[in-house]
Amino acid sequence: MDALALGADGDPFSFLGMHAKGQGVVVRVLRPRAERVWVVEARDPRIAIPLERVHPAGIFAREFPLTPPFAYRIRESSGGAEWDADDAYRFGPVLGATDAWLIAEGSHRRLWEALGAHVTTHEGVTGTRFAVWAPNARRVSVVGDFNAWDGRVHPMRFRAECGVWEIFLPFDLHGEAYKFELTGPSGGVLPLRSDPLARQAEVRPQNASIVAEPSHFVWSDEIWQATRAERAAAAAPMAIYEVHLGSWRRKGLRGEEFFTYRDSAETLLPYVRELGFTHVELLPVMEHPFDGSWGYQTTGLFAPTSRFGSPDDFRYFVDRAHAEGLGVILDWVPGHFPTDAHGLGNFDGTHLYEHADPRKGFHFEWGTFAYNHGRREVANFLIASALYWLREFHADGLRVDAVSSLIYLDYERGPGQWLPNERGGNENLEATAFLRELNAIVHVEVEGATTVAEESTSWPGVTAAPEEGGLGFDYKWNMGWMNDTLRLFKRDPFYRGYHLEEMTFGLTYAFDERFILPFSHDEVVHLKGSLLGRMRGNDEQRFASLRTMYAYLYAHPGKKLLFMGAEFAQEGEWAETRSLDWHQLEEPLRRGVFNLIGDLNAFYRATPALYADDDSWDGFAWLVCDDRRHLVEAFTRTDPASGEALTVVVNLSGNEYPLYALDVPQAGRYREVLNTDAERYGGRNRGNLGTVEAVELPGGGTRLELYVPPQSVLWLAPETSEAPE
């Protein structure tokens, strides 16, 4: 009784509730704030037998001699009020044997159904079950308003076979806030923890978990689901619009209010569809305590952030995206987590989710813990989270953040801050095994799901199959191409001829992996400025250079990604605290860039030459790759099925060329299907009047002589090709 009174008893079910004693039974309850307590006959509430206070901390008990166990409830009175309730300690275990086995084995693919908080019916009574993995704790209690946040009231049952603590509270608690109070192995009470498997959380700055109401959402995306695998194929077009939901657009007099998931569904999604993108990618929507982390320091890997609404509101967003013909990719962070006291760090008084040695378990530069991917229960927790978003929210893919920090033991760590692996190298063998398992499971269990790696090094086989020694991702962000391209376009056109390798080097490895070419949020923050802000010269020259870079992006092998605001050349650097500068869209030059992005997406989706063979030389051929005098580059993209080719001419200089000679594969008339100097895009309308003729040379070969505007891109197609709608 003293241990219970102090919240130090690790086996409350062996004492509280009804137990055989001699030839009868004894009933014991802990009600710290009760003045009087009765045992009530469940079948006849008029029969109420008072219990005796046997401990000043509020333990009440009574023996019933020569009486078999009977169904009962507890009546409690305090402050003049009186109420009846079932006794949580009269119920048996809630976690099934199969669940316990799979949790212990680290192979529970639907972990969110076993752990966390769930309103359910147990032994004929409607209530709420709680379960949390904390194998090294000496005691765990669930606390909330329902027990005055008093950890003595509802200590949980320990399931030693799987390290889980569980309890069934015989009342419906959906919508209620809760946390877990744990006593660590040393006997000290730890800071209150949020539920690692919570499916909903309080709105920051509060951080308690919420008992999520069972979903009532009715999906309407059956057709999308049936065709998702086809849409996700490597030979399909993919143009991604990357979004931070908290700052795409805001509401309120001063823009102080977030758009909800439903607001974004009705505004953001039609906008993205009209621009012609195929996918929307969201910076992490998993629960996180700090707005400034953009979601990348996650504390709730199973909870859509409550900043923007409920879990069903987020389901509505995804369903509407599919209705608009858009796939949804979610940024997801399985590499590290923040040190917030309510989070996963030192969860049960031990390094449960992170490595105990900070040389493996802590990112010194980021100030975050690193997951212990070699622990089966932790790997299972992360894989279950991935499956949760793909299954429960119909997400079409996951972009895995900071993969380099997972696969290298010395990533962003100085001397003495990391440990070599068992072979003496810097490869994280546990994390690479985890990534292979993650991708293998996702691709087997969720048809058509896409996984993307943000990986910035030359690690081989990121998109190769696990059975071939690869990591198993579908795509990898091509950070090298992005950095080279931005470096080149940031230069004054006069000097670009000395650095053409920044444009051509990427083709030496362009087909080693399946790539996405990203101009992401990371390129418009931390004093880097906007994409437009990198361009040199006056406004006419800056915008011409930006249009050239965008058309080059869409012509280059690889899928496409553009961060919000870039589509209308936002002038300033992105800030998560405010809306995009939508008023700038009314300026003619920015409206021209907006028109260009829409047309690039339309032509890209309608032209298989630009996407059907992104990962081999069969779909690409240089025509000009080293014209340093004119700063002109030219190449073809070819559709392997039809053989139709698109000729791309890129002028990186500030000069115009009225008769630029270009050798091309075939004779005949070519249509100028895209010209970034068109007036519609903010240019001067300089070009080839729609068509140009390629003639056969006397000595063999075929040549075009065409007008090339300064800082521009021309796309030329044989006149037999059909123009995109």
The pLDDT of 362-384, averaged and rounded, is: 95
Least confident range from 58-72, 459-473, 681-695: namely 58-72
Cβ neighbours for 538, distance < 8 A, ≥ 6 positions apart:
none
Q: At which of 184, 210, 236 does a domain end?
A: 210
Contact in structure between 150 and 362 (CB atoms under 8 Å):
no
Of 708, 717, 566, 607, residue with least CA distance to 650? 708
Q: Is the pLDDT of residue 522 over 70?
A: yes
The pLDDT of 12-31, averaged and rounded, is: 90
Asked if residue 192 and residue 167 are part of one domain, the reply reads yes
Instruction: For 586-634, write each residue's pLDDT tens digit.
Output: 999 999 999 999 999 999 999 999 999 999 999 999 999 999 999 999 9
Sign, Cα dihedral of 24, 30, 32, 33: negative
Asked if residue 65 and residue 23 are part of one domain, the reply reads yes
Q: How confident is the model at residue 455 (pLDDT cuts 50, 70, 90)?
A: very high
- Would you say residue 677 lies in a domain? yes
Cα–Cα dist 264/321, whole Å:
10
Asked if residue 167 and residue 64 are part of one domain, the reply reads no
Contact in structure between 709 and 678 (CB atoms under 8 Å):
no
Contact in structure between 440 and 422 (CB atoms under 8 Å):
no
> What are the CA-CA distances from residue 124 to residues 86, 158, 602 (Å)?
12, 23, 58
Least confident range from 244-258, 436-450, 591-605: namely 244-258
Give the CATH number of the domain where residue 688 resides. Answer: 2.60.40.1180
Q: What is the DSSP letter of 249?
A: S
- Would you say residue 61 lies in a domain? yes
Task: Please give the single-letter amino acid code of residue 437.
Answer: E
Cα–Cα dist 687/405, whole Å:
47
- What pLDDT score was predicted for residue 529? 93
Q: At which of 187, 210, 233 does a domain end?
A: 210
- What pLDDT score was predicted for residue 387? 98
- What pLDDT score was predicted for residue 722? 53
pLDDT: which is higher, 6 or 547: 547
- Would you say residue 647 lies in a domain? yes
- Would you say residue 236 lies in a domain? no
Q: Report the share of the chain in percent with pLDDT over 70.
A: 99
Q: Report the share of the chain in percent with pLDDT over 90.
A: 87
Give the CATH number of the domain where residue 206 resides. Answer: 2.60.40.10
Instruction: For 406-434, write each residue's pLDDT tens digit.
Output: 999 999 998 989 999 999 999 999 999 99
Q: How confident is the model at residue 678 (pLDDT cuts 50, 70, 90)?
A: very high
Asked if residue 104 and residue 205 are part of one domain, the reply reads yes
Domain count, the chain: 3
Q: At which of 90, 109, 143 does a domain end?
A: 90
Q: Is the pLDDT of residue 386 over 60?
A: yes
Where in the sequence is the domain holding 13, given as residue range(s)?
2-90
The pLDDT of 108-135, averaged and rounded, is: 96
- Would you say residue 444 lies in a domain? no
The pLDDT of 134-144, averaged and rounded, is: 97
- What pLDDT score was predicted for residue 704? 93
Q: Is the pLDDT of residue 648 over 70?
A: yes
Q: Is 365 exposed, middle or buried (0-12, 13-18, 19+ CB in 10 A)?
A: exposed
Cα–Cα dist 676/599, whole Å:
10
Q: Going by DSSP bridges, is the β-strand pair 164-169/125-133 parallel, antiparallel, or unpaired?
A: antiparallel
The pLDDT of 193-218, averaged and rounded, is: 96
Asked if residue 714 and residue 688 are part of one domain, the reply reads yes
The pLDDT of 226-255, averaged and rounded, is: 93
Q: What is the Rg, in whole angstroms, of the alpha carbon atoms belonging to the chain?
A: 31
- What pLDDT score was predicted for residue 365? 86
Of 91, 84, 4, residue with least CA distance to 36? 84
Asked if residue 122 and residue 75 are part of one domain, the reply reads no
Task: Please give the single-letter amino acid code of residue 572.
Answer: G
End-to-end CA distance of the chain: 79
Asked if residue 83 and residue 121 are part of one domain, the reply reads no
- What pLDDT score was predicted for residue 210? 98
pLDDT: which is higher, 31 or 473: 473
- DSSP codes joined into one string, 435-450: HHHHHHHHHHHSTT-E
The pLDDT of 196-207, averaged and rounded, is: 96
- Would you say residue 533 lies in a domain? no
Asked if residue 30 and residue 10 are part of one domain, the reply reads yes
Asked if residue 141 and residue 63 are part of one domain, the reply reads no
- DSSP codes joined into one string, 335-400: SEE---TTSSTTTTSS-SSB-SSHHHHEETTTTEEEB-TTSHHHHHHHHHHHHHHHHHS---EEEE
Q: What is the DSSP letter of 193?
A: B
- Would you say residue 646 lies in a domain? yes
Q: Is the pLDDT of residue 665 over 90?
A: no
Instruction: For 165-201, write each residue's pLDDT tens digit.
Output: 999 999 999 999 999 999 999 999 999 999 999 999 9
> Residue 608 in 3-state DSSP?
helix
Cα–Cα dist 91/418, whole Å:
48
Cβ neighbours for 125, distance < 8 A, ≥ 6 positions apart:
86, 91, 170
> Residue 531 in 3-state DSSP?
coil
Which residues does the annotation mark as catalytic?
A: 401, 454
- Would you say residue 496 lies in a domain? no
Asked if residue 65 and residue 122 are part of one domain, the reply reads no
Asked if residue 700 and residue 629 are part of one domain, the reply reads yes
The pLDDT of 641-667, averaged and rounded, is: 94
Instruction: For 370-380, write each residue's pLDDT tens digit.
Output: 999 999 999 99
Contact in structure between 517 and 553 (CB atoms under 8 Å):
yes
The rounded mean pLDDT for the chain is: 94
